[in-house]
Structure 1
Amino acid sequence: MDQVKFGAELISRLMDHLCSQLPGCTGAGLSVWPEGKLVRAIGAAAELDAEQLAGGAGPLVDASRDERQVSGKVGGMDVVAVPGSWGNSGPVVLTVYLDHEPGVADLKAIEEIEPLVATAAAVVEFCAGEVLRADQMVRMVQHRRYIEQAKGLVMGARPSAPGEAFELLVRASQHANVKLRDVATALVLIVGGTLEDSAEEVVEPPAVAFDVARRLWEALRK
C-alpha cells in the first residue's frame, strides 16, 4: 500500500469522524506553519485555511505562532485552531469550523481527536520513505510530552488552569525569544533532574532555555 496515500486517507477519515461528532461542523483542516503548507482540508477549511495561510493572519496563524489554542471568526464562521506537534519547522495546526460558538462538548471532542490527527500528519510528513525522519517524529512526540509535563509543574507550583499555565510558559519563552519546547524541557530537567520517559537521545536545550526556566521556577516558588 502506498504510504503517503494511506496517510492522507487516514487524516481525511479522522477529520470526517471529528466533524461527524460535532453538530454544526462545516469543515476541518490541517496545516504546517511557518511553512504555510496546507496538509489536508475538508469542507469550509479548504478555502478558509488557505486564506489565512496566504494572508499570514487569523486564528490558524495565531495558534501556530503562540503555540496555544485559539478561537475566533473567519468568513462568518467560528473556528478553533489547535497546535498539535512541535517540530523543527513549527507546529502542525488543526482547525475546526463551526456554525456556532464552540462549547465545552465541542472542545472536548476536538481535544480527544487532535492527537490522532497530529500523529497521522507526522507520519505522512516525516516518515514517508525516509527512515531517519522517524527519529524526528519521535522527537516531536517527546516535545509535546515535555510541554505537558512542564504545564503540570507550573500548575503544581501555582494553582491555575491548564490554559493559564500554558500561557505562562508561552510568555516566558517569547520574552526571551526561546522556543517553547526548549523552555519546557529545561524546566522538567531542572525540577525533576530527568525526563519521565528516560529518552536516551534527547537534544539538551540551549543554556538560555535553562536560564529562562530557572527564573520562571524561582518566580513561581515565591
Structure 2
Amino acid sequence: MNQVKFGPELISRLMDHLCSQLSGCEGVGLSVWPDGELLRATGAAVELDQVQLDSGEGPLVEASREERQVSGRVRDLDVVAVPGSWGDSGPAVLTVYLSHSPGIDDLKAIEEIEPLVATAAAVIEFCAGEVLRADQMVRMVQHRRYIEQAKGLVMGARPCQPGEAFELLVRASQNANVKLRDVATALVLVVGGTLEDDAAEVAEPPRAAFDVAERLWDALRV
C-alpha cells in the first residue's frame, strides 16, 4: 500500500521556500488558535506569533476566528495571516511577515504554498509522526469535513462566526474529554441521521461523543 511520511522538517522546508519567494520576508509562522500553540516559526514570526497567541489579539487570531485571510501590522512589520486546515486543536494559521505592504505577487505566492503547509501540519497532527497509509489519509480528510459540517450546524442554530462555532465545539469536547473529531462526527449523525456515502471507513464515534453532541444540540436549540 502506498505510504507517505511527513515530519516537521517538511513544514520548515515549505516555509523557507515561501520566504525565499518573497522580497522583504522577515519570517513565516504556523500556529494553532484557540489552542494557542506555535507549531513552527522562522525569523520574526518566532516572537510575533507568540505575542498574538499570548494576547489573543492580532491578525493571526482574527484570521482564525473569522476564517478569512487578514492583513495588518504587528509592531513594525506587515503581516498576512491565512487560516488553513482545521484539526482537533483549531485552524492552522500561516503568518507571513514582510518589511513592506504585501503586493499581488506576494499574496499569490502565499496562496499557492499555504495549502501545502496546512496539509502537512494536519497530517502530522493526525498520525502523530507515524507513517500515514492511503486509507488513513482518506479518514483524515473525512474527519475534517465533519468538523466543518459541525461548525455549520452550530452557526445555523446560533448565529456566530466560524471561529466562535469552533471554539464552542472545542470547549464541549474538552469538558467531556472526548476527541473533537468524534464530537463533530456524532453531531452530524445526531442532527442528520447519516454520514456521506463515502464515509464507510470512518468508525462510529463512542457513546460519550453522542452524549456530548446531544447535550450540545439541545443547548443550541434553547
Tell me if TM exceeds 0.5.
yes
Paired amino acid for 2:62: D
Q: Which residue of 2 aligns with 1:84?
A: 84
Go from structure 1 to structure 2 and tell me whether the alpha carbon gap of 1:138 and 1:95 turns closer, same or farther (over 3 Å shift): farther
Gaps of 5+ in 2: 170-183, 206-212, 218-222
Q: Which residue of 2 aligns with 1:13?
A: 13
Q: Which residue of 1 aligns with 2:40?
A: 40
CA distance in 2, matches of 1:95, 1:104: 16
Give the Å deviation of 1:48.
0.5
CA distance in 1, matches of 2:129, 2:76: 40
TM-score, with normalisation over the residues of structure 2?
0.63
Give the Å deviation of 1:34.
1.2
Paired amino acid for 2:118: A
SS across alignment from 2:42: strand
Question: Contact 1:127–1:137 at 8 Å: present in 2 too?
Answer: no
Q: Which residue of 2 aligns with 1:163?
A: none
Q: Which residue of 2 aligns with 1:27?
A: 27
CA distance in 1, matches of 2:108, 2:157: 27
Give the Å deviation of 1:141.
3.4
- Does 1:122 pair with 2:122? yes
CA distance in 2, matches of 1:118, 1:10: 11
Paired amino acid for 2:42: I
Q: Which residue of 2 aligns with 1:60?
A: 60
Aligned partner (choices 175, 198, 207) of residue 159 of structure 2: 175
Q: Which residue of 2 aligns with 1:72?
A: 72
Q: Which residue of 2 aligns with 1:105?
A: 105
Q: Which has the higher contact order (CA 8 A, sep 6+)?
A: 2
Give the Å deviation of 1:119.
1.4
Which portions of structure 1, spanning 4 or more consecutive aligned residues, are displaced by more than 4 angstroms?
129-132, 134-140, 142-148, 169-174, 176-180, 206-209
CA distance in 2, matches of 1:96, 1:174: 33
Give the Å deviation of 1:123.
2.5
Q: Deviations over 1:65-98 (max 9, x none)?
A: 2222111100211111111111232101110111
What are the residue-to-residue correspondences of 1:173-212 with 2, within 5 Å? 175-176=159-160, 178-179=165-166, 198-200=198-200, 201=202
Go from structure 1 to structure 2 and tell me whether the alpha carbon gap of 1:137 and 1:27 turns closer, same or farther (over 3 Å shift): farther
Q: Which residue of 2 aligns with 1:162?
A: none
CA distance in 1, matches of 2:154, 2:105: 26
TM-score, with normalisation over the residues of structure 1?
0.63
Q: Which residue of 1 aligns with 2:93?
A: 93
Go from structure 1 to structure 2 and tell me whether the alpha carbon gap of 1:147 and 1:109 turns closer, same or farther (over 3 Å shift): farther
CA distance in 2, matches of 1:139, 1:121: 15
Gaps of 5+ in 1: 151-168, 210-222
Go from structure 1 to structure 2 and tell me whether the alpha carbon gap of 1:29 and 1:143 turns closer, same or farther (over 3 Å shift): same
| Identity over aligned pairs, percent | 70
Question: Contact 2:38–2:49 at 8 Å: present in 1 too?
Answer: yes
Paired amino acid for 1:96: V
Go from structure 1 to structure 2 and tell me whether the alpha carbon gap of 1:116 and 1:28 turns closer, same or farther (over 3 Å shift): same
